[in-house]
Structure 1
Amino acid sequence: MTAHRTAPAPLPAEELAALTGRLHQDGVIGLPQAFTREWVRRLDEDIATAFADARGREGGAVGRGPNRYYVEIHPEQVRGFVDLVSHPWITAVAEAVLGAEYRIVEVGFDVPLAGAVDQPWHRDFPMPEETSRHRRLNSLAVNVTAVDTEPDMGPFEIAPGTHWDDGAGFEHGMFPPREAYRRYHDLAVRKFPRMGDISIRSALTVHRGTANHSAKSRPVLVLGLDGPGADNGARHDTAVTREFWAALPEAVRAHLDCPIVDTLRPITQKHTIEGLVMGASD
């Protein structure tokens, strides 16, 4: 585990209110320079190690389209895990949107390799009743880019405000019909984060990865957070060892919702509907 060389300053109350208001309105916010480039270089190394391991065993990585993979990992595979989940900007937004009892339920990463193609527009899971009926968000996804994103690297594309779209006509509650694509294309914003930048979004906001025309990969860490009543943890197999758990600050243990085990087992990725629709990687 590592620590911030310089602890980031907490968000002022008025800035936090503005950020959560924009998150409610757009479904996504960006927070530049949350981490140092040195910290992100270590993250990139950890992702590369985990990705090589995952691709070397059956079920270690799941396709999210040609030349595009998702891998779920255990928290202790990221040396900066404590830095990430205790970052005051992330914890402040999580508490403001999800409540003080939010839970950490997912640690993983996406890797679009050279040759990755445009994904279909999608949200990451069907809209829960709390959102459709009461217009409340009960989960968030934090994205941390491991590289400087350039225009030819297949940047992430998101359609602000679409987290409130009625998904009744979406295939599997996740994939809008193709006749709706023009609207998403017109709304879409491409994101070009640099090392150290993070975003926080509702995974219901319709989005896609775009085609990677470069010779480089674009790895992105994903941290999944649930509020009370959300059940996204059931989709994930995160665990920690007893030694790792004992070394965690109490403020982190209070939010980490996963089994505590003697020995970690490599995670076999779930072959989800999302993977089936987007197609396997080569």
Structure 2
Amino acid sequence: MPWIYPFANELVFANPVIMGILERVFYQEYVMVQMGVDVPFQGSDYQETHRDFRPLFSDRIVTPLYALAVNFPLVEVTAENGPFQMARGTHVLPREEGLEKVASGEIPMESFYMQPGDVMVRSPLALHRGSPNRTNQPRPMVVMGYAMHWLHTPKVDLTLPKDYYESLPEKLKQMLRCQLVESLPQNKVETYVNFKY
């Protein structure tokens, strides 16, 4: 997403309520590394069940939370328009074990219905997927990614105008891991790297 209003707003990317949650989860400094949007259209299908990140060490060692995703919808999310689906508790399981438990029904794949104004804070290590949009209206969901300051990933794509960045308080500057540009490109082509695990 381009870094423009209404999303280029401290009350969105540095919302005090969300920051309060992140500060209780992350015991060290963290950075915002992503702001994107997930928009299934009519005719979309189920995504492959996946994780957004790999464990830090091994699938056999429970990984402490080093990244969180914050989702919020721009429209009501219903059973018909492609709700986000997640299998609770799979963030602490080896991937294959989690997939087996989901496939057998031991751990259900739950749909999360949301209203505009709702926010979901989740572990990107939990197995999840997008579901089909069976309506004729797109279903936009904003996703903001936050990670511990020491984590570097090629998934980062946060580009800010230099003058906007320079106008921010120092604490917010330190929280944003971004590329600075003199002005945002008018016709930036979206690039997507598959980071499903």
Q: What TM-score, normalized by structure 2, do the two folds share? A: 0.86
Q: Secondary structure at the match of 1:75?
A: coil
Q: CA deviation at 1:258?
A: 1.3
CA offset digits 1:154-198 (Å, max 9, x no partner): 21111100011213x49xxxxx76x55424674222111100000
**1:135 alignment counterpart:** 63
Distance 1:80 1:238, change over 3 A: closer
**Cα distance 1:187–1:206, how it changes in 2: closer, same or farther (>3 A)?**
same
Distance in 2, Cα, partners of 1:185 & 1:75: 41
How far apart are residue 267 of structure 1 and its match? 5.2
Structure 2 residues without counterparts, runs of 5 or longer: none
- In the TM superposition, what is the alpha-carbon distance from 1:253 to its structure 2 partner? 1.3
- Structure-1 residue corresponding to 2:83: 155
- SS where residue 39 of structure 2 aligns? strand
CA distance in 2, matches of 1:79, 1:141: 16
User: What is the aligned length?
Assistant: 195
User: Counterparts in 2 of 1:19-30, with a 5 A limit?
Assistant: none
Describe how 1:11-50 pairs up with structure 2 within 5 A: none
Opposite residue 51 of structure 2, the aligned amino acid is R
Aligned partner of 2:183 in structure 1 is 263
2:54 — aligned with what?
Answer: 126
The answer to whether structure 1 residue 76 and structure 2 residue 11 are counterparts is no
Letter in 2 for 1:249: P
Q: 1:115 to 1:91 in 2, by over 3 A?
A: same
Q: Which amino acid aligns with 2:48?
A: P
Distance change (3 Å), C-alpha of 1:155 and 1:185: farther
* CA distance in 2: counterparts of 1:231 and 1:185, whole angstroms: 34
- The aligned runs of 1:77-226 (5 Å cut-off) are 78-129=6-57, 133=61, 135-167=63-95, 169=96, 181-183=102-104, 186-226=107-147
Contact 1:141 1:225 in 2 (8 A): yes
SS state at 2:61 partner: helix
More displaced 10-residue stretch of structure 1: 187-196 or 121-130: 121-130
Q: Distance in 2 between matches of 1:219 and 1:136?
A: 30
CA contact (8 A) 1:107 1:224 kept: yes
CA contact (8 A) 1:101 1:227 kept: yes
Give the secondary structure class of the aligned counterpart of 2:172.
Answer: helix
Deviation of 1:75 after TM superposition, in Å, equals 2.8
Root-mean-square deviation (CA), in Å? 2.6
Once superposed, which parts of structure 1, at least 4 consecutive aligned residues long, lie more than 6 Å away?
A: none
Give the aligned residue type for 1:199: M
Q: Distance in 1 between matches of 2:171 and 2:182?
A: 22
Q: Which has the higher contact order (CA 8 A, sep 6+)?
A: 2
Query: Which structure has greater helix proportion?
Result: 1
Structure 1 residues 221 and 229: alpha-carbon distance in aligned structure 2, compared to 1, 3 A threshold: same
**Post-superposition shift, 1:121?**
1.2
Aligned counterparts of 1:164 and 1:269: Cα–Cα separation in 2: 30
